[in-house]
Amino acid sequence: MNYYYEIKNELINNEINRKVKNYSINKSDLNSYYNVGKILNEAGKHYGEGIIKEYSQKLKYDLNKNYSVRLLYRMLKYYNFVSEEKLPTLSAKLSWSHYDEILRFDDINKIAFYIKISEQQNLSVRQLRERIKSNVYERLPESTKNKLINQDESNVVDFVKSPIQIKNNWNNEIISEKLLQKLILEDISYFLEELGEGFTFIKNEYKIKINDRYNYIDLLLYNIKYKCYVVVELKVTELKKEHTGQIMTYMNYIDKNIKTIEENETVGIIICKQDNEYVIKYCSDDRIISREYELV
């Protein structure tokens, strides 16, 4: 079998399909690059991995297009992952450019995660690069990663990043909770993405009355997917035990006065300058989590 001839024909046919059937460029690329990866896999068994460099040079000369060594390796990796069922089958939602970004990693679970969120959130390649650059996967709690690996059911706070990144376009020095809140509100969409899926903004400084005294919830959110209210409290200090007591009071108020019977119990997120695992460990309410913030 002439492996190089097969690869060259596959790539030529793909270029023709791209021009003639513009509407199906994505499908053509994925099918062709999968087939090229399969041929490279067979060629490698006979000639070793060095054959990829040789084929890259010949393709550049014959087709007057740069099919780099890196690109051919990506095709080989793509084939191996799909054929070994480590990746989902070809997705019409993702382009080759998506896979090209994702397949730079060696961690199979990390690859599967970025494929999943790219599909679910309909991410453009640019948006995918932003997620990768901000280390979204690395900032997930280990418990969440284990759930993804085992395909366990997730809950409302599983995908809250650690630390939570907050945009600081003005390079302000954070000296108060009010200022931290202001930065969050300036790009509330970005902040909601940091929390995970399904979060929507209701109000900041949400006023509630306990006995004869008014209190103000820093941020009141709602999660559409999990059908629950989310109370967010901001702290520019280390997490303290009185912070959990405060947010627990607010959560109980929402449950008793606002939540309907069809909705799930309210969840609390304390965003602080420095976490304290023992405060959360000995907190009596497991609906409360804490996360440090990071200004970017």
78-106 residue pLDDT tens: 998 888 766 655 566 789 999 999 999 99
Cα radius of gyration rounded to whole Å, the chain: 25
What average pLDDT score do residues 3-27 get?
80
What span, in angstroms and rounded, lies between the C-alpha atoms of 113 and 102? 9
Question: Domain tally for the chain?
Answer: 2
203: domain CATH number is: 3.40.1350.10
DSSP string, 125-192: HHHHHHHHHTTTTTTS-HHHHHHHHHTPPP-TTTT--SSEEE--TT-----SHHHHHHHHHHTHHHHH
Output the pLDDT for position 88.
55
How far is 256 from 265, CA to CA, in rounded Å?
Answer: 10
Q: Give the pLDDT confidence score for residue 203 in this predicted structure.
A: 98
pLDDT score, position 289: 97
Task: Say whether pLDDT at 176 is over 80.
Answer: yes
Regarding whether 182 and 73 lie in a shared domain, the answer is: no
User: Where on the phi/psi map is residue 19: left (φ > 0), alpha (ψ -120 to 50), or beta?
Assistant: alpha
Query: For the chain, what is the mean pLDDT?
Result: 92
Boundary (domain end) residue, out of 81, 106, 133: 133
Is there a single domain that holds both residue 161 and residue 285? yes
- Give the model confidence (pLDDT) of 269-284 as tens digits: 999 999 998 999 999 8
pLDDT of residue 24: 63
Same domain, 202 and 274: yes
Residue 190 or 85, more confident: 190
Q: Is residue 230 part of a domain?
A: yes
pLDDT for position 92: 65
For residues 270 and 247, what is the distance between their CA atoms, to the nearest angstrom?
A: 8
Do 169 and 289 fall into the same domain? yes
User: Which pLDDT does position 25 carry in this prediction?
Assistant: 65
pLDDT band at 28 (very low <50, low <70, confident <90, very high): confident
Q: Amino acid identity of 227?
A: K
What order of strands is seen across the sheet that includes strand 267-274? 164-166, 288-295, 267-274, 228-238, 213-223, 199-210
Structural domain boundaries enclosing 204: 152-295
**Same domain for 43 and 166:** no
pLDDT reported for residue 295 = 94
SS3 103: coil
Residue 145 counted as domain residue: no
- 147 within a domain of the structure (yes/no): no
Domain end point (choices 133, 162, 196): 133
Q: What is the mean pLDDT of residues 14-24?
A: 71
Q: Is the pLDDT of residue 258 over 60?
A: yes
Asked if 122 and 182 sit in the same domain, the reply is no
pLDDT of 212-245, one tens digit each? 999 999 999 999 999 999 999 999 999 999 999 9
Q: What is the pLDDT of residues 128-149, one digit of tens each?
A: 999 999 999 999 999 999 999 8
Last residue of a domain, one of 103, 133, 163: 133
pLDDT on residue 83: 84
Residue pLDDT, tens place only, 46-79: 898 889 999 999 999 999 889 999 999 999 999 9
What pLDDT, on a 0 to 100 scale, did the predictor assign at position 81?
A: 85
Give which of 283, 274, 291 is closest to 241, Cα–Cα. Answer: 283
Residue 181 falls inside a structural domain: yes
Residue 22, pLDDT score: 56
Q: Name the band, by pLDDT with cuts 50, 70 and 90, for residue 209.
A: very high
